[in-house]
Amino acid sequence: MRYNVAQLIKGPTGAERRFDLIEEIRDLEQDLEPLSPLEGSIALMRTSQGILVTGKLRTRLRMPCRRCLEPADVDVELDLEEEFLPVARIANAPVDDVPEEEYDEALLIDEHHMLDLREVIRQGLWLAAPSQVLCRPDCAGLCPVCGENHNLKECHCDEVILDPRWVDLQALLLDESD
């Protein structure tokens, strides 16, 4: 996911290169578990300041179910739109430009004119991944007492843990039923 953009940087504003991307991302992030390669297309376009990267990418990730913690597979689509700036331009930036300390290092084109998408894609996958995944729509979850997975078997816990803040209300319900 590294692209040499030397010729594109020398080109006129609006010059563009398109690429089809099929990339293994298993080593991208230890907490993300991709099941398929990252696929899609990207466009690199010369802007007045750097290179604008746009694209639509997709992959399949394995994530824990929010109810039972079993693995669940989800399809993720990532829309890219980031402008990368060359390091050389930043060093020679006019005084009224953004200070060098405020540039995001993930969005810099190195001194060898290499544009690296790995960090942008890693962050984008975290943002594009759903925050609450279910292994199946009717997931029964875990028992709050013993931790048994109700999808696999029912537990025989009689005791329901009641939040101490609700004890007085529970007493009212019991009085009403008598």
Q: Same domain, yes or no, for 124 and 70? A: yes
Q: Same domain, yes or no, for 121 and 146? A: no
Q: Report which of residues 88 and 106 the model is more confident about.
A: 106
pLDDT at site 91: 46
pLDDT bucket at 101, cuts 50 / 70 / 90: low
Do residues 37 and 29 lie in contact, with contact meaning Cβ atoms separated by under 8 Å? Answer: no
pLDDT at site 94: 43
| Global model pTM greater than 0.85 | no
Q: Same domain, yes or no, for 103 and 157? A: no
Q: Same domain, yes or no, for 118 and 153? A: no
Residue linked to tokens 């890219």: 80
| Domain coverage including residue 73 | 2-128
Query: Tens of pLDDT along 113-167?
Result: 999 999 999 999 999 999 899 999 999 999 888 889 999 988 888 666 677 888 8
pLDDT bucket at 97, cuts 50 / 70 / 90: low
Q: Which of 104, 128, 152 is the last residue of a domain?
A: 128
Q: Same domain, yes or no, for 156 and 73? A: no
Above 50 in pLDDT, residue 103?
A: yes
Residue linked to tokens 């689509």: 77
How many angstroms separate the CA atoms of 120 and 81, rounded? Answer: 10
Q: Same domain, yes or no, for 13 and 47? A: yes
Q: Which of 128, 151, 168 is the last residue of a domain?
A: 128
Question: In this structure, how many other beta carbons lie within 10 angstroms of the beta carbon of residue 61?
Answer: 20
Q: Same domain, yes or no, for 147 and 110? A: no
